Structure 1
Amino acid sequence: MSLTHGSLFSGIGGFEIGAAANNISTIWNCEIDSYNRKILKQHFPNTIQHEDIRELRHPSAVDIISGGFPCQDLSIAGRGRGITGERSGLWSEMLRIIDEGRPAYVVIENSPELLKKGFENVLYPLSEIGYDAEWQCLSGTTFGVQQGRERVYCIAHTNGIGQQGERQKPIFSEPELSRQFQGVHPGWRTRSDIPKPRAFRSLNDIPNGMERTKAHGNAIMPIVASYLFRCIVNHYNQITP
């Protein structure tokens, strides 16, 4: 059985790329920014597009729902209003869609500040609707990429899945360095050992277009998304006869 995926707060498709790398089809996505939707349509022409999560009701059933709800009210660069702020408060809409669709797995991405500014408002409501959760803080340098942008990633699964099998292993596995970097600098073992980029985002050679820079700046790195979906596939295979 092939797993399916629905993406919320999709940006330019980082989670979609990670899903595709694990042979998981993205059935639908939801993104309010018109520029980002153009990018999504270009790379995922067969995926159903939705625009405003506040207007989205009962999208097609999928096995996995992912989303990085806005972090502006949580980030140290923001005003610190927390998860009940106008932007980060859109988590409640994501929770509603999870409850409507009842996917087997949920992937959540946000600023590490979430752990100090309302993470209980994520975990407790998920528990109320029947989900258990695990989480990790990861950055690109965890995988050998020269970017220290740390984020918290939470993978939740239905309690029924968690109760299947004997002594279920954790969903998260040991992250692997990108093959692109393996063997190049064998002495690099921790994030502090990996040099930072010489200039702001110069590693990706992004032109000075405001929309493109904003889109890339808000995007989840596909290499991290691929790891998260691989963890889900491995977990799913453990419980599937």
Structure 2
Amino acid sequence: MCGIAGFILRDGQRPDPALLQRMADALAHRGPDDHGLYTNGPVGLVQTRLSIIGLATGHQPMVSEDGRLALAANGEVYNYIELNEVLRAQGRRLLTDSDSETILHAYAVRGLNFLNDLRGMYAFALHNSQTGQVILGRDRLGIKPLFYCSLPDRVAFASEIKALLPILPGRPEILPAALRQFLQNQFAGGEETVVAGIRRVLPGEALIVHPDLSIERHRYWSALNLSPRRMAADEAQAELDGLMDT
């Protein structure tokens, strides 16, 4: 479990490192092993890390070798070894044994289409300094959390709602209907959270935040779009066993 947070400001503004640190402090319990801060133009990223893969080389935010991309990620990419083999065959030079570096290279090669190849539980914020965009992505089932708020001067994001509270103007407003749903179901689905102005990135979704702070939604996976498969029972059992083994 790691924690990520950050924001993109209207062009011409620069991130306040003290504010980024406050956001990171709110997520310190999610990442006791390491923490990092990245700023570039109007974008700031922070990450608090629990080391699981790439213990010595997985410091984040992680910046690509050419300096064009920066990543703060939470979670695990299960098939990163297989993806790395493909990336190396395409001439990519991977410098660490961290699965987060796989995300950087896969995005550099395929753009948002790389999300179709990922298997795992993850949430990430990726800054493309060439386009000025920030990509917010979440795994297919929404195992890893990612929240955001859109304000006139910035779009901010974080692994937990409380890391966004310092960004909100004034006292946070609780939404009674959303709170009631959460208390009744012990779960709150959809975009809305219990705090006004703070929303979820949906499972299987990526948000593209443009430099003008407009947000473009990209749904890369939905269980509703799956086609039924017909197979013999023993074939289905063998496939399930193979998936469980990996």
**TM-score in terms of structure 2 length:** 0.28
**TM-score in terms of structure 1 length:** 0.28
Higher relative contact order (CA 8 A, sep 6+): 1
Q: Going by fraction, where is helix more abundant, 1 or 2?
A: 1
Q: Going by fraction, where is strand more abundant, 1 or 2?
A: 2
Structure number with greater Rg is 2
